[in-house]
């Protein structure tokens, strides 16, 4: 047998399996209630519309839908995206400032490939999205954590870290930020703080990588302007959008918006990744957008998820023992639960799984796994009955660990 371990590249040493992806394998276990994945409610998928548009697209335009497409994205789809970004974010774009990606995860990989050589410094939130940490890690990034509070990443902590990096004679390649209903905590950065953070990025000569998949899933409160719009086209920001949370994740479709020279670089690197993102999914999504179906669909899921969040908070209030607290997000798919410091949520997970309930351990969202007494709960996927029963089971697991 070939001992291929001697042949492997260094990236294998740096990469480890995602806790969430591994946990998802358990979610088929009979009777298990999962608050683990960041999955949309499958009962809300627009199945009839997709079936309709898929059928007419394949029948009428097989030469586009079933053929290889352009790496930048199908021009007619990109045209719809430009319209959408203008309508929703009041941002003016040209075709050169946008590239279609196989959803945001590929965008994270593309940006990492473009900017990170092994050992390069980037700044990430404490905590932040696990899949981003995984992408940055695979390129050997030297990740430095920035503290957060109930309103997301702290500008003061960001300044301290940027100053330290500058004093050491180094540069920060980019600051990774999930500004709206952050995965994992559900927090949103207010616009005044965004302005300060953008100023800091400019002052210290770095970029902001804005990743905002949950932006449109707002239940209450005020819409906060994107970093990209605040930057007014000065090319200090790269923004990633995805259709995974507002339409369907199965299409694996998203897009990056940024300076045209960067978009060109992403395009060249994407060529060797997958040639192009699925033309048939782009064509169907284009028809869906053209028919004006996206906004009503988003309204529908906002209504469902907002009720599910309320149901989860009510269940937490009903069942959790004293000493446990949680965030109160104004949108998104997640809330963040903190248990007393002496409880390690990684060690508690087997007892939760025994109770047939799953969550994601909080430490997985820290680049240095430094915090152990927290967990992420998703409220979009489970049914209302499962939310109540699942939180009851989770509370039983917590109670068994509380002193």
Ligand X SMILES: Cc1ncc(COP(=O)(O)O)c(C=O)c1O
Q: Does 69 bind ligand X (CB under 6 A)?
A: no
Query: Among 98, 103, 175, 349, which residue sits at the site for ligand X (rule: CB under 6 A)?
Result: 103
**Which residue lies nearer to ligand X by CB, 103 or 230?**
103
- Find the binding residues for ligand X in span 248-307 (CB under 6 A): 249, 254
| Minimum distance, C-beta of residue 177 to ligand X, in the bound complex (Å) | 10
Among 211, 231, 330, 388, binds ligand X (CB under 6 A): 211
Closer Cβ to ligand X, 304 or 402, answer by number: 304
Residue from the set 97, 104, 185, 327 that interacts with ligand X by CB under 6 A: 104
Task: State the minimum distance, in angstroms, from the CB of residue 214 to ligand X.
Answer: 7
Q: In the set 122, 178, 262, 267, which binds ligand X (CB under 6 A)?
A: 178
Rounded to a whole number of angstroms, the minimum distance from the CB of residue 303 to ligand X is: 21
Q: Which of residues 112-151 bind ligand X (CB under 6 A)?
A: 129, 131
Q: Which is nearer to ligand X, 128 or 206 (CB)?
A: 128
Choose one: 241-249, 320-328, 346-354, 388-396; the region binding ligand X (CB under 6 A).
241-249
By CB under 6 A, residue 226 contacts ligand X: no
The single-letter DSSP state of residue 234 is: S
For ligand X, give the closer residue by CB, 116 or 320: 116
The only residue of 244, 372, 380, 386 in contact with ligand X, by rule CB under 6 A:
244
> Three-class SS of residue 276?
coil
Identify which range of 102-110, 146-154, 222-230, 277-285 contacts ligand X by CB under 6 A. Answer: 102-110
Candidates 98-106, 186-194, 219-227, 317-325; binding stretch for ligand X (CB under 6 A): 98-106
Report if residue 46 touches ligand X, rule: CB under 6 A.
Answer: no
What is the SS3 assignment for 125? strand
- Residue 127 or 131 having the CB closest to ligand X: 131
- Other beta carbons within 10 angstroms of residue 144's beta carbon come to 18
Residue 350 CB, nearest distance to ligand X (Å)?
24
Nearer of residues 163 and 274 to ligand X, judged by Cβ: 274
Chain residues that interact with ligand X, rule: CB under 6 A: 38, 103-105, 129, 131, 178, 183, 211, 213, 242, 244, 249, 254
């Amino acid at each position: 047998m070939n001992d291929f371990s001697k042949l492997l590249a260094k990236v294998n040493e740096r990469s480890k399996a995602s806790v969430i992806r591994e946990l998802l394998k358990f979610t088929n276990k009979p009777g298990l209630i999962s608050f683990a994945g960041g999955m949309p409610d499958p009962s809300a998928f627009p199945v009839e519309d997709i079936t309709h548009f898929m059928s007419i697209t394949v029948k009428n335009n097989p030469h586009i839908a079933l053929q290889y497409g352009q790496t930048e994205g199908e021009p007619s789809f990109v045209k719809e995206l430009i319209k959408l970004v203008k309508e929703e974010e009041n941002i003016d774009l040209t075709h050169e400032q946008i590239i279609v990606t196989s959803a945001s995860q590929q965008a994270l990989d593309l940006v990492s490939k473009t900017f990170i050589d092994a050992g390069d410094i980037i700044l990430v939130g404490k905590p932040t999205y696990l899949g981003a940490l995984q992408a940055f890690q695979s390129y050997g990034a030297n990740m430095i954590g920035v503290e957060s509070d109930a309103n997301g990443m702290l500008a003061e902590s960001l300044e301290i870290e940027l100053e330290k990096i500058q004093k050491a004679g180094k540069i920060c390649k980019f600051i990774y930020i999930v500004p709206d209903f952050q995965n994992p905590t559900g927090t949103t950065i207010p616009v005044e703080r965004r302005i300060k953070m953008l100023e800091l990025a400019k002052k210290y000569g770095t970029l902001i990588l804005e990743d905002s998949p949950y932006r449109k899933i707002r239940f209450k409160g005020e819409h906060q302007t994107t970093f990209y719009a605040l930057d007014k086209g000065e090319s200090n920001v790269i923004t990633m959008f995805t259709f995974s949370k507002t339409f369907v994740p199965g299409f694996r479709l998203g897009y990056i918006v940024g300076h045209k020279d960067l978009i060109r670089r992403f395009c060249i690197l994407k060529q060797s990744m997958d040639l192009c993102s699925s033309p048939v999914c782009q064509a169907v999504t284009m028809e869906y957008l053209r028919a004006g179906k996206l906004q009503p669909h988003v309204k529908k899921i906002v209504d469902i998820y907002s009720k599910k969040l309320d149901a989860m908070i009510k269940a937490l209030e009903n069942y959790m023992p004293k000493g446990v607290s949680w965030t109160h997000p104004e949108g998104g798919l997640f809330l963040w639960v903190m248990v007393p410091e002496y409880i390690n949520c990684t060690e508690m997970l087997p007892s939760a799984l025994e109770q047939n309930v799953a969550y994601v351990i909080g430490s997985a969202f820290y680049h240095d796994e430094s915090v152990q007494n927290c967990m992420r709960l998703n409220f979009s996927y489970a049914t209302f009955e499962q939310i109540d029963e699942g939180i009851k089971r989770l509370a039983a697991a917590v109670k068994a660990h509380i002193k």
